[in-house]
Amino acid sequence: MNKEIGWEFYRSFLGVLQEGSLSAAARALGVTQPTVGRHIAALEKGLKLTLFTRSQGGLLPTAAAQALRPHAEAMASTAAALERAAFSQNDGMHGVVRITASEVIGVEVLPSIIKGLRQSYPALKVELLVSNQVQDLLHREADIAVRMVRPRQTQLLARRLGQVMMGLHASQDYIDRHGCPDNPEELGRHSLIGFDRPNAFVRQLAKDLPGMEREQFALRSDNDLATLALIRAGAGIGFCQLPLAKRDANLVQVLPQQFGLALDVWVTMHEDLRHNPPCRTAFDALVAGLQGYLA
């Protein structure tokens, strides 16, 4: 193997994997199409592998390319983390901090916290990655994560902030039109909002709360923001975080004694970042802001 293969070749390789063609990868990377083509050809020659085959729809990755993909993605994450760390070495509170959080926390809770952080440190830049997928902090896909499960990696600095309660909610408009169920048995005549494809969390939900199986849901979505929007629109009854519901006078909790679920809330970052001023400042701001939300 040629050990002199440059990072830019792997960058072009990852671009083609993500975009599906040389031209699309060139646009995404801000280079010319011939440049991407030369990079791919040089990488295939250096690795002695065929990485793509041509088709009418573009370039199809081979099995070898798919095997290399996670390593190229890790390289890209590391390169991005290096740039953020380098930028943070300037005098004062400068730098870039990449924060990841679940859909609801990232959209409904963090914006006001980040607003306060930026008001205190206007030179600090924040990248917010909103996804229910757990990003790998060890591979530096993000600097800080707000998670609803305890991190398992020992190299992470983690702080448990408490629990956020979830309960069934409906809009006042829905209650006015359909009435409020008085017991769990009456839920069967209501439009329930829930998940589409089960995962570990929803399987546990179904175990803890009988009657919350997929077949019972008239409206199904795996996007938590879509579920929340359906509840707010008066389309049915679904789960919502209690602190979030208390902010909305139009939301009414349904059967609070029978349906409640507690989720742990954690803020985590790689332990190597504990002495990085921008990351430490952002970490502390998230802890304070989320504690206020949970309270």
pLDDT, one tens digit per residue, over 154-176 is 778 889 999 999 999 999 999 99
Domain ranges of the chain: 7-75, 86-155+265-294, 163-263
In angstroms, the first-to-last Cα distance of the chain is 57
Residue 271 binned pLDDT confidence (cut-offs 50, 70, 90): confident
How far, in Å, CA of 69 to CA of 131, rounded?
A: 20
| pLDDT above 80: residue 139 | no
pLDDT at 281 over 80: yes
Taking the C-alpha atoms of residue 187 and residue 142, their distance in angstroms, rounded to an integer, is 41
The pLDDT assigned to 206 comes to 65
* 6-29 confidence digits (pLDDT tens): 788 888 998 998 888 888 888 888
In terms of Cα–Cα distance, which of 210, 165, 158 is closest to 184? 210
pTM attached to this predicted model: 0.67
For the cut 60, the answer to whether the pLDDT of residue 2 exceeds it is no
pLDDT band at 148 (very low <50, low <70, confident <90, very high): confident
Give the pLDDT band (50/70/90) at residue 142.
confident
Angle between helices 22-29 and 33-47 (to 10 degrees): 110
The span from the CA of 98 to the CA of 110, in Å, is 13
Instruction: Please report the pLDDT score of residue 11 as a whole number.
Output: 87
In this model, does residue 190 exceed pLDDT 60?
yes
Q: Which of 245, 209, 239 is nearest to 226 (CA)?
A: 239
Task: Give residue 234's pLDDT.
Answer: 96
Q: Average pLDDT of the chain?
A: 86
> Which of 263 and 2 is assigned the larger pLDDT?
263
From the options 3.40.190.10, 3.40.50.920, 2.60.40.1180, 3.30.2420.10, give the CATH code of 86-155+265-294. 3.40.190.10
What's the average model confidence in pLDDT over 248-252?
94
Helix axis angle for 22-29 and 7-19, nearest 10°, is: 120
pLDDT in tens, 29-49: 888 888 998 899 888 888 888
Q: Is the pLDDT of residue 289 over 60?
A: yes
Model pLDDT, residue 204 = 63
Three-state DSSP state, 295: coil
* 243, pLDDT greater than 90: yes
pLDDT at 103: 92
Give the pLDDT confidence score for residue 167 in this predicted structure.
92
Cα–Cα distance measured from residue 237 to residue 233, given in angstroms and rounded to the nearest whole number: 10
Q: What are 65-118's pLDDT values in tens digits?
A: 999 888 888 888 777 777 766 665 555 567 889 999 999 999 999 999 999 999
Confidence label for 1 from pLDDT (cuts 50, 70 and 90): very low
Can you give the length of the chain in residues?
Answer: 295
Four-way CATH pick for 7-75: 3.40.50.300, 1.10.3720.10, 3.40.190.10, 1.10.10.10: 1.10.10.10
CATH architecture of 163-263: 3-Layer(aba) Sandwich (3.40)
How far apart are alpha carbons 170 and 235 in whole angstroms? 8
Mean pLDDT value across residues 43-67: 86
**Fold identical between 86-155+265-294 and 163-263?**
yes
